[in-house]
Structure formats: C-alpha cells, structure tokens
Amino acid sequence: MKNMKLLLNPFVRIAGLQSLVIGLVMMAVTSVIAYYANIALDGVLDIHITTQQLTWGKAFLYPFISVAVLIVISMILAVMAKTHFRIIDLVGTILMSRIPFIIGACCGFFVKLPDVNTMVEHPASMLQTSIILTGICTVLVIIWHVVLYVNSMRVSCNMTGKTLSIVTIIAIIVSEVLSKFLLAWLL
C-alpha cells in the first residue's frame, strides 16, 4: 500500500535537484527508446506509433518541447494562483511525472502497424490483439502521468481542492493544444 502511494506520489520523498536529475535522465532514456521503438511522443498526452522512421531530432525534441510547454504554463498558472513554490521543485517534479512514458515508448517494440494502404482497404487489419493491448497500455500510461502531474503540482506549489483541480485541468488542456501547434510549426 505504501509502495502504491509512492508510485502515485513519489514527490513526498523526492523533489528539488534530485527530481530534476532523475527526470532529465528518464526523459533522455524515453527518447532513445522512442527512437528505436518508432514511437512519437508528440504532445503532452500523446503516444503514437508511427509508420515512418523517426529521426533522432524528432525523438528528442517532441517530448522535450512538450514538457517545456507544460512547465511554462504550470508556472504561469501557479503564479496567478498566488502560490509559493521553488522553480527547481516545479520543474523537477513535472519532469519526473513523465517517467511512465518509458512504458509507453516500450509498447512500440510489441506492435507493428500494417502499411497505410492495407489500413485503408481493410480497416479490420487494425484489430490485432497487440494493437488493442498497446492502446489500453498507452491509456493507462497517460492516466498515470496525469495523476503524477497533479501530485507534482500539489507538492511543489502546496495546492489543494478547487485551485488544484482548476489549475491542472487548464494547464493540461492549454499545454496540449499549444505543444501541438508549436511542434507542427517547428518540426
């Protein structure tokens, strides 16, 4: 039970510089796995299997730009909510909240999409067990990330109740839309 709590809120124990280092290392590892598994992490809440080979640039820039947008938006909202926080805690814990994406990136090793023509001609070809299981797995990964993100804001900014709900919902929606536009414009 205690370990389960730590899986959902490790920030009670880990924050500051430690979380920043762990978060950055894990994001780099996720990007390397995403490159080899051909998974595009192109957005705050996105895990997509691509039919084309990813470049190293895209494999690294997609997640790093997305998380940078989420951090900036969260910081602006935390300032607007008049909460006290240390930038290093906010940045570190949000970076650590992306750790579940490692599992999402690994999903790419277990699934192979049929080519585009086959998918158009025979949509039923998408109904493979591996594709369905990967879909379920990625949804669970995203839910885990959202729970970690909410807890990162709770701990690093001492937010609770309505403020926490409103800030996190707005931050996720705005960051998702903004990161999509930014990635489409930059890459």
Partner 1 sequence: MNLPIQCPSCGDTLHVKSLLCEHCGTEVSGNYLLPPIARLSPEKQHFLLQFILCSGSLKEMAALRKLSYPTVRNMLDDIIAELKSFQ
Interface size with partner 1, residues (CB under 8 A): 14
Cα→Cα distances 178→7, 87, 164, 165, Å = 29, 21, 21, 20
Query: Does 156 help bind partner 1 (rule: CB under 8 A)?
Result: yes
Query: Does 149 help bind partner 1 (rule: CB under 8 A)?
Result: no
Distance, CA of 128 to CA of 17 (rounded, Å)? 43
Restricted to residues 78-117, the positions that interact with partner 1 (CB under 8 A) are 84-86, 89
Min dist. Cβ of residue 143 to partner 1 (A)? 23
C-beta of 18 vs 55, nearer to partner 1: 18
C-beta of 48 vs 154, nearer to partner 1: 154
**What is the DSSP code string of 11-68?**
GGT--HHHHHHHHHHHHHHHHHHHHHHTEE--STT--EE-SSPPPHHHHHHHHHHHHH
Among 27, 47, 70, 155, binds partner 1 (CB under 8 A): 155
Q: Which two tokens stand for residue 185?
A: 């414009």
C-beta of 84 vs 129, nearer to partner 1: 84
Q: Which stretches of the chain bind partner 1, using CB under 8 A? A: 11-16, 19, 84-86, 89, 155-156, 158
